[in-house]
Each structure stands twice: as structure tokens, then as C-alpha cells.
Chains A and B, each alone.
Chain A
Amino acid sequence: MPKITIDNREIECRKGISVLQAALEAGWNIPHYCAHPGLRVVASCRLCLMEMRMPDPKTQEPTWSPKLVPACQTPVRDGQVVRFDSDRVRQNVKRCMEFFLLDHPLDCPVCDQAGECHLQDYSYRFGEAESRMVDEKLEKPKKDIGPRTLLYSDRCVLCTRCIRFTQEISGTHELCLVNRGTRNEIDVFPGKPLDNPLQGNVVDICPVGSLIDKDFLFKRRVWELESASSICPGCARGCFIRVDHCDGTVYRLKPRYNPKVNDWWICDEGRFGWKYVHDDKRITAPVLHRGHEKTTPKWEELPEILRYRFEEQMRKNGPDKVVAMLSPFMACEEAWLLIKFIREVAPQAALAMGPVSEDGENQHFPVGASGDAVRFTILKEKCPNRRGIELLIGAAGGKTLSFEEFVEKSAAGDFSAGWVVGGYPAEWVDKAAGKIAPKFELLVVQDIFPNALTDAATIILPSCAWVEREGSFVNSTGLIQPFERAISPPEGVKRDGQYLYEIAGLDGLYRAGRVRELMNATIEEFAAVFEAPPMPAHAH
């Protein structure tokens, strides 16, 4: 571990990183635009320039370098001495900020980035209150550069992060820098818009308000948003995300750093895949069919009703006529609670795995990369927790079924009582599965949207979207990753975890961590969940 001295303080840092990265990790708030740990170094913004001690070429005496050097481009060396806390460095940042703001339209009141803009932050710290610019400002145009993204060239600081992203991560090369000098602009080739499965990331890495997401445009001021740490349920990869929400509504998803899965990126499919959460077709109350009568039971009565109904079936049709189908959209904790309940009332109950949705092929980025060159992957398996549910079903032992076997046996009338969990964002009940409902005397369906099975169910339980729940998903590589709840479920709906907790005979509030402690007693994998190391506070 090299030791370097920054502003007279000696720190130990990781090997092979830049001085900028070392300083950010040690807590320094060094201004920077073009440097991003996931992208190539270009050292073009000149904000992170520092003073460094070097041996004088004539006398070999260590002296401060005559010129400032970019911290992002200087690798750390043992015994290096640098300083940011000096007049020359401060003057440099001040002058740089003046140039960045020469042609800036100062339209913060209508800018989406305001509040999380590094042009604002650095101007506040280093800028002047007044511009000395006497000439007319160059007006660069707004550009519609793709189906999901707008480019405000006039707010751009030309850090070229977005260009490097399309070159190095997505490998699609849509963005380029046209013209020269003061007329430099980010652009796409006319007719070749920015339209690739990862394009939303250019909005995230833009340090200013130049690249704007059309989906979030003028929706909310960012300081009104609250964030919850979550996991993307879009595919089995399990990218770390942040759910930005306000007043019970989700506004956007942003990536969270996770070096083992997604680095700093997420795909558009995940980024915009949350819209079903606010669909008005959702099931918003439990329903109980008594003969031809349809009632809405109180949530408090449900545990008792369910236990009674299943025990009644056991007495009537024997102990091996009960089945539960678990969904790969359930959190591990919820699945464990449901298994606990079912195996308590019917120890011989069969456990089935729900359908694992797949779409197309695995996509690797940069486009055309393979092996170690792959920087990002979108999996074809479009559900977040297949491995987790398989692990729990395996740990529970007893009779287990695949989805096909479950449909086949149910259609043959092998089961009289069943609990089916859906929770899929899209229609999942196929023709064969739709026909099994009449074979059951008692069918409990827990789902988000109405479908052929909920239509025929004895008891319908509303399910929640993942942003309304908490728990953990096991991703395709076997990492157990926890997610927080962001918003409240629609009125009348109780969280899956909470009612399953009560149904499983436990008292109090459902907390994923507490359930994991209980699970850990029998399934040792759940002793610890994977949490990514935090990003340095001042890195962006």
C-alpha cells in the first residue's frame, strides 16, 4: 500500500489508482468533471490540477513543480507529496469555473439538474458572483439526440464523459464532438440517434444539466425526492439501484455502485421498467369467495381464515393434496414465510417453482465483446430471484415440482388446495395454467394484476411491487442482495411480507433483517447479505 502526503497529511491508499481517486477516497472534496473511475482518463477539464513535489533536474532537491499537474492522470507513488490547499490551485479552479460559465445560460430555475449539478456546487465554492464576460454569449442549440434523451448544448462543459461511455461501455459510438474550439458541441450523426440499451447512463454521468432524461423532464425538483437503496428486478443480474420517490410515487431509478455486478451502470430496460407500479389495474383489496358471494375480508381475519381453510382441506382430502407455487419475483424472506406456513399446516405439501420468464438472449457490452472485455451484461432471465427461491425450496426439502409439473399435476386433479404466487409485471398465466383453477377446491392467488387465475380463485391476495416491499434477492451469481422499501403500497393493500409474517404465526412488524435471522438458523447462506462498498462522498 503506497503512502502519499496530501496537504501535509500522510494517507495510505490503494495501489494503481490516481491521486484524484486517492484524495476522494480519503475524504477530500476535489472538484472534477471529466474524471470517472469507469472511463478512460482524458484530463481535459483541468479542475483537479494540483501541485506536486518533484526532484529538481539540476540539483535533485525536491521542489514544488513549476506547473500544475492533473491529479486524475497522476498515478500514486510511494512517498509522493502533493497539495491542493494552495493559492495556485485555488486560482486555477476559479479561472476554470469562469471559463465554464462564459456561455452558460444560467437557467437553473428551469433546469432538471439543479440541486444535483456540479456546475452549481463548484460555482458556489469557487466561482464569482458576477461574470466579467462583456461579449455576447454563444448560443448553442438544444438537440433531440434520441428517443429518450435531450441534449442542452448550452449547459455542456465538454467533459466528454458521455462520448467515452458510448465508446467504452456500450460500444455503440453514437456520440461525438463536432466543430472546434469555442464552437465545440456534443452531437450525434443526423439520423443515427443515441438509442442503445444502456443510453440512460449518459444522463447519470453528465456532471451538469446537459444530458436530460425525457422521462423525468420537468417532473420534480430533485431536492424533493427521497431515495431508497434497492435492487433492480428487471433481470437475474440484480443491479444495485436507487429508487427516487416522492409523495408515494416513484419518479426515477438511478444506478448504485456495485463492483461485483453492475459497476456504475444500469440498462434502460431496468431504468424505465417500473411504470407498472403505478398502473390502475392493480388488485387493491383481498377478496374471499363464499359460494357465489364475494366479500372483502378484514386483513386481521385473514390469517385465521387461511389456516382454517387449509386445515379443512387436509381433513377432507388428505395430507398430500396441498401445493404452493412460489414466484421468482418474491423476496427470499417472503418465500420462506410462505413455506413455513404451508409446511406447518400441511407437512407433506408440494412446493413448486413459478415460471421463469425469459426474453431473447443475454446481451453483453461493449457490443461484440466477450470474455474479460465485457463491461456490462443484460441477462435473458427476466426475474430477480430464481436462485433464491430454488435455494429455499431445496432447503425446505420434501416434494418439489417444476412449473410444468405443477401445471400438469394440477390439471390432472392431483391437488385440492393450492397457494399460487404471481407478482410478475407482465401477463404470466399461459393457456395451460389458466385451466387448472377449476381443479382446486381451495385456490389462494397472490398477485399484482388480475388474470385467469385470480378470476377463478377462492381467495385473492393483493401483492406489492418490489419498491413497496423489503427483503433480499439472490442474483444469478449467488449474491444475496438486500433491498429497502421505497413507497407505501396502494390504499387497502398490505405488504406481502407483513401478512405472510402474520399468517406464518409470527407477531409484530415484518422486518427483513429479523426474518433473515430466523432463516439463518436452518439455512446458513442467509447469515450475511452482500453490501457494496460505498462510493467516496465527493466522487460523482
Chain B
Amino acid sequence: MAWKVVDRNEAIVEAEGPALLSDAVREKIRSFFDRYETKRAALLPALHIVQDTLGHIPHQGMMEIAGLLEIHPSDVIDTVSFYTHFWTHPKGKKIITVCRSVSCEVMGGEAVLNEFKKQLGIGEHETTPDGKYSLVTEECLANCDHAPCVLINEKRHEGVKPENVAAILADPNNDRVTMERSTLFDAPGDSKARDSAQ
């Protein structure tokens, strides 16, 4: 067995140069400080803000967040790596989520996943070179009655078979939700705000 050791003394530098986070982003993060007793508590909002702006949270970004919140960068990576929502490397325009939970697995989910891997030429949690697709797995998409289930951005593809994969990928609208968005799932305040905006 080869003696392989991951070297953690070397920093991961995604981009040399000036600070990643703009002053506006920093100001937005700082605006959350008043809401909590400690600056550390603003970590989750800060991560959301950075991911919304940059699309992902690079190591450089984590260090800058740590600097703003006056915590160690290890505390930031601890939280970032816990939530699958946060990405540490660039994600594609469309995210293909394949369910790997029991029902989908039993109905052939693994074959579907392998077919996606084959056709896209990428592995799990990776992005195609053209930046179009990222492939991930999720524990359950809450759609067991239509297993195996695949989610592309917000659109569900139900009862997917390996032979359907090519057609799904060829469809330019494979992530477009055709259904009317329900207001039921939005908080009352939000829907009011939206109504008044309309």
C-alpha cells in the first residue's frame, strides 16, 4: 500500500490577488452583527451571502469571512463542509441531484447515477468543464413513489431509467419548472411584499 499523506501545511489558493469579497458584501455581512450576541453567530448568513455572490465559497473566501467574524478559518470550514448546500468549488449552471436513498436505490438509482457520470464525464460533486452541469447525490428527494428520482435545479424527473438520461440532457428546458409556483410555501410576509411589488 502506498504511503500517501495529504499535506495540510500548504494553503489552497484559488486566486491570487486582491480580496475576494467586495466592500458591499462585507458591509452586508456586517449588517448582521447587530442581530446576535456574538459575531460568530453571523456565520451562516455570511456563508449564504458569499455563496449567493460568488456562486461558491472558495478557501480564500472562508479566510476572509473568518477575518470579518474574528474566528479561526477552521471554524468556517467546519460549518461549510457540514452543509451540502454550500459549495467549496464552482458549481455548474444546472445541478443534477440524484437520489441515493433506499427506494431509488432499489429501483435502479445507481444505474441512473452511473449513466449521468458516463454521459457528463464527471464524478460525484464535480462540474463539467463547460460549467453547464454539476452532479451530486442527495439522501432523499421525498419522491419515493416515483423512484428513481432526479432533480435538475428545481425540476423533478420521475421514474428515470438509464436510457432516458440522454433525452433529459438534450432537453434545454430540463430544469424549467412548468408548474405554477405556489405561494403556499412562502412566508406570509414575503407574499405580501411580492403582491405589493406587483
Contact = CB atoms under 8 A, between A and B. Distances in A.
Interface residues of A, number: 24
A143 B10 CA distance: 12
A392 interface: no
B10 A176 contact: no
Interface in B68-110: 71-78, 81-82, 84
Interface stretch (B1-9, B48-56, B149-157, B172-180): B1-9
Interface stretch (A189-197, A255-263, A345-353, A432-440): A189-197
A145 B10 CA distance: 10
Given A178-B81, A180-B81, A180-B82, A145 B75 contact: no
B81 A189 contact: no
A188 B8 contact: yes
Nearest to B81: A178
Contacts of B19: none
- The DSSP consensus for interface residues of chain B is mixed
Contact of A143 (B8, B72, B84): B8
B11 A191 contact: yes
B8 A178 contact: no
Given A141-B4, A141-B5, A174-B72, A190 B78 contact: no
Interface string A171-192: 0111111111000000111111
A143 B5 contact: yes
A141 B9 CA distance: 15
Interface in A404-432: none
B6 A144 contact: yes
A177 B77 CA distance: 8
Given A180-B82, A189-B73, A150 B5 contact: yes
B161 interface: no
B81 A179 contact: yes
B39 interface: no
A485 to B, nearest CB: 38
B73 A147 contact: no
A180 B81 CA distance: 7
B74 A188 contact: yes
B72 A173 contact: yes
A229 B188 CA distance: 69
Q: Which of A172, A176, A177, A179 has the most CB of B within 10 A?
A: A176
Nearest to A172: B72
Given A177-B78, A178-B81, A189-B77, A141 B6 contact: yes
B167 interface: no
A193 B9 contact: yes
Given A189-B62, A191-B11, A191-B12, A176 B75 contact: yes
A178 B72 contact: no
Contacts of A187: 8, 74, 77
B146 interface: no
Residue among B3, B8, B59 having the largest count of chain A Cβ atoms under 10 Å: B8
Contacts of A174: 72, 74
A145 B8 contact: yes
Interface string A123-165: 0000000000000000001111111001000000000000000
B74 A175 contact: yes
Nearest to B71: A173
B8 A144 contact: yes
Contacts of B75: 173, 176
Interface string B12-28: 10000000000000000
Interface in B21-59: 59
B61 to A, nearest CB: 12
B78 A178 contact: yes
A190 B11 contact: yes
A175 B7 CA distance: 15
A150 B77 CA distance: 20
A191 B81 CA distance: 17
Which of B9, B62, B73 counts the most A-chain CB atoms under 10 A from its CB? Answer: B9
B5 A192 contact: no
A180 to B, nearest CB: 5
A369 to B, nearest CB: 16
B122 to A, nearest CB: 19
B5 A142 contact: yes
A143 B63 CA distance: 21
A246 to B, nearest CB: 26
Contacts of B73: 189, 192
A176 B10 CA distance: 17
A144 B7 CA distance: 5
A141 B7 CA distance: 10
A142 B7 CA distance: 9
B136 to A, nearest CB: 14
Given A141-B4, A173-B71, A173-B72, A190 B10 contact: yes
Contacts of A190: 8, 10-12, 59
Contacts of B4: 141-142
A315 B102 CA distance: 100
Nearest to A185: B81
B72 A192 contact: yes
A173 B82 contact: no
B78 A176 contact: yes
A147 B9 contact: yes
Contacts of B71: 173
A143 B84 CA distance: 23
A145 B82 CA distance: 20
B5 A179 contact: no
A191 B5 contact: no
B8 A193 contact: yes
Given A145-B8, A191-B11, 9 more contacts: A142-B6, A178-B81, A179-B81, A180-B84, A188-B74, A189-B73, A190-B10, A190-B11, A193-B8
Q: Which 9 A-B pairs have the closest CB atoms?
A: A191-B11, A173-B72, A176-B78, A176-B74, A178-B81, A189-B73, A190-B12, A189-B74, A143-B6
Interface of B: 3-12, 59, 62-63, 71-78, 81-82, 84
27 contacts: A141-B4, A141-B5, A141-B6, A142-B4, A143-B6, A144-B5, A144-B6, A144-B7, A144-B8, A144-B9, A146-B8, A147-B9, A173-B74, A174-B74, A176-B74, A176-B75, A189-B59, A189-B62, A189-B63, A189-B76, A189-B77, A190-B10, A190-B11, A190-B12, A191-B10, A191-B11, A192-B72
